Amino acid sequence: MGRIVANYIVTGVELADGHLITGKTPYDHDQPTMTMPLNWEKEKAERVAEFYANYLAADAQPTDGWSCHKFVADVMGWEVLWSEHANPYYLTPGIFAVQASMLRDETPYVVRGKMEGVGFLTHSMLGLPDPDYTLGIDGRDAGLWIKPHAAITKKYGNRFYRQHQPVVQRLGKVGRLLQPSKAAKTFPLIDATID
């Protein structure tokens, strides 16, 4: 019958030991399903499960918000601080454009697309074993989705970039959003340096 290319919301995460973390989103038996094993390095796979348990599990009671950018930063193990009005206004060093067909498993990417501006990155996501799909949060305080590239480009834009750990950027009067743990610990950023 051919392959179904669709958006999939993650309704659960099964750990290597068989423990299942069930999501808040109910499972719809009438919809097509997909199971995708992540043969990622242990720490990164555990951080995916930890993020899911903390924010998206049926019994999760998060005390703070989350976004696609926070998901990628947490899974990658990047120590970052978030401003009170966290928006994705940051730049990363050495980002370079890639074709959607070249996205690799376990690799962080960003889309710099429809909402242009200096340092504005619209959507963060992670590559998956299936090169036609990515894993990411679909908006602020939203669910975890497995999406085909066509759905991402339609919503966010078609300029994919490989993502690296964010660095401090001074944007206007306040430094907004991400900074590594070695940078200034408070906002606004004044004379912040990176080791």
Domain boundaries, the chain: 8-162
Integer Cα distance of 186 and 169 in angstroms: 13
pLDDT bin (cut points 50, 70, 90) of residue 34 is confident
122 and 67 in contact (C-beta within 8 Å)? Answer: no
User: In 3D, which of 187, 168, 180, 182 has the Cα closest to residue 80?
Assistant: 180
CB burial class (10 A; 0-12, 13-18, 19+) of residue 99? exposed
Q: Is the peptide bond before 188 cis (omega within 30 degrees of 0)?
A: yes
Q: Mark 21-33 as b/e (b = at least 16 C-beta within 10 Å).
A: bbbeeeeeeeeee
Looking at residue 95, its pLDDT comes to 64
AA identity, residue 182: K
Structure tokens at 62: 């998060």
Looking at residue 47, its pLDDT comes to 96
* Stretch 142-167: mean pLDDT: 84
Distance spanning both ends of the chain, measured CA to CA: 55
| Per-residue pLDDT at 41 exceeds 60 | yes
Bigger pLDDT: 187 or 33? 33
* Stretch 45-51: mean pLDDT: 95
Q: Among the listed ranges 2-6, 58-62, 174-178, which one has the minimum average pLDDT value?
A: 174-178
| Per-residue pLDDT at 60 exceeds 90 | yes
Number of H helices, E strands in the chain: 3, 9
User: In 3D, which of 79, 55, 194 has the Cα closest to residue 137?
Assistant: 55
Integer Cα distance of 61 and 81 in angstroms: 21
Bigger pLDDT: 36 or 175? 36
pTM as predicted: 0.78
DSSP state of 116: -
User: In 3D, which of 100, 76, 118 has the Cα closest to residue 158?
Assistant: 100
Integer Cα distance of 120 and 133 in angstroms: 23
Q: Among the listed ranges 74-83, 110-119, 128-137, 141-150, which one has the minimum average pLDDT value?
A: 110-119
Looking at residue 148, its pLDDT comes to 92
CB atoms within 10 A of CB 195: 5
Q: Which fold is adopted by the domain 8-162?
A: endopeptidase fold (from Nostoc punctiforme) (3.90.1720)
What tens digit of pLDDT does each residue of 81-132 get? 555 444 444 545 556 788 888 889 999 998 876 555 545 567 889 999 988 8
pLDDT bin (cut points 50, 70, 90) of residue 164 is confident
In 3-state terms, what secondary structure has residue 20?
strand
